[in-house]
Amino acid sequence: MSARLSPSAGTAGHAGLMASAGRVGRVERRRDSSLGWLVVFPDVEHHAGSSYLRELAASDCSPATIRSYAYALLRWFRFLHERLVRWDRAERTDVRAFVEHLREVPNPQRRRGRPDAPPLGVVNPRTGKQAPGRQYAARTINHQLSVLFGFYDHACAAGFGPLVNPVPAQRGRDGGRVLAHHNPMEDFVVHRRATYRQKQPKPTWRAIPDQAAEQLFGVLRCHRDRALISFWLSSGVRAAELLGLRHGDLDVGAHTITVVSKGSRAREEVPASVDSFAWLALYLAEDRPPLVEGGPLWWTRTQPPRPLTYHAARAALQRANAVLGTNWTLHDLRHTAAQRMLADPAFTLVDVQTILRHASVTTTQIYTQPRLEDLIEKVLEHYARPPAPAPTLDPGYDASAVHELLGIRR
């Protein structure tokens, strides 16, 4: 079968295909399957995609990772559908066109914000943070390429059709190990990015200043939100980790909470402030959420109540941002906790790494970078400081003798 459909398919039919390509295929959740998520394209299960997702599930990838990979495959299949190209006949030029497509078209996720949300890509004057741009981010494009490389690598090995992986390898331009056959008489040349990989900005962090944190805390509407913000600011746990707390994961006497860590999925104890548990007690007493042994700790305030999800918690923070005119995120709260700990001389870098549960201390070192606000304050203080007086000789010494002793020419 030809890789591309013949032009005899008709211009009108091709135009209709282009109009409906964005709705072709879907990602389904299968509760009775070990995969969890499946790609249906165009209207039947994609067997090569399911085989790849099954490999991920067998490699102990989380359901969230499998879901993300499924949507990445669906985005690729839809793009090829518009170009009238079969997935197993895709070429490197198709991958290049796909990257160019992602760099130009708007990300549909950006259109799902609140109607009163600030314009995309604009720097917030109060926080100094730039809102996400309209197009796909460089990190998203690189993730898409990684998914496709792994998918085609698996498809080639499993014999699903393609003989060559159309996606350039990440490890080097020749597709092999970097410097595997390097001539020791020549200089080393390390290729940091493979072909089509985008330049990603250096990882940065932005903590919420203490005054801004107090203002944010003051506009919260209920004790549930105050308890959540207090836990995030004092413990530094990730948003999803705190929202996953269950009854029985709290030790009020030891002031610790037990969370399921991202990545390792291990249950680990994390210390939190006394104020956090006080706000939690007010939330439990006032809102009266369903108390079920082993059940969720955080609930919505609607009737009937439902377990609080990440999107619902983010919406509560966005409502506070709308009042203040800011654009803080839930992950900024984790950055703020790390900055406060590192600013305390009682904490070492390894202490903060242990609390944040980073696999490597180099990840924690990102939080040691000085904030722009602190640098501006230091620069202004430097220029406002009067110059130090020039050193002079004590009147009891002979100036000419001292100059001759020190070899100073006048």
Q: Which residue has the tokens 């720097």?
A: 123
**Alpha helix stretches (DSSP H) within 138-247:** 138-158, 210-218, 223-235, 239-243
Catalytic residue among 334, 335, 340, 357, which? 334
- Is 367 annotated as catalytic? yes
Catalytic residue among 26, 86, 143, 262, which? 262
Rounded distance, CA 172 to CA 179, Å? 9
Rounded distance, CA 155 to CA 55, Å? 11
Catalytic residue among 52, 136, 152, 367, which? 367
Catalytic residue among 103, 134, 306, 331, which? 331
Rounded distance, CA 229 to CA 242, Å? 10
- Is 96 annotated as catalytic? no
Rounded distance, CA 403 to CA 392, Å? 12
Phi/psi of residue 28, nearest 5 degrees: -110, 150
CA dihedral angle for residue 157, residue 159, residue 165, residue 167, rounded to 10 degrees:
-90
Catalytic residue among 46, 81, 223, 238, which? 238
Q: Count how many Cα atoms sit within 13 Å of the Cα of residue 383 in the half-sphere of its side chain.
A: 5
- Is 334 annotated as catalytic? yes
Q: Where are the beta strands (DSSP E) in 226-276?
A: 250-251, 256-260, 267-271
- Is 262 annotated as catalytic? yes
- Is 397 annotated as catalytic? no
Centre a 10 Å sphere on the Cβ of residue 34 and count the other Cβ atoms it contains. Answer: 9
What type of residue is 34? S
Q: Are 209 and 203 in contact (CB under 8 A)?
A: no
Q: Are 41 and 77 in contact (CB under 8 A)?
A: yes
Beta bridge partner(s), residue 85: 4
Q: Are 149 and 165 in contact (CB under 8 A)?
A: yes
What type of residue is 399? A
Contacts (Cβ under 8 Å, ≥6 apart) of 152: 162, 165, 166, 167
Catalytic residue among 89, 110, 358, 371, which? 358
> Which among 297, 277, 295 has a CA at the least distance from the CA of 287?
297
- Is 331 annotated as catalytic? yes
Identify the sign of the CA torsion 318, 321, 326, 331. Answer: negative
* Residues acting as catalytic residues: 238, 262, 331, 334, 358, 367
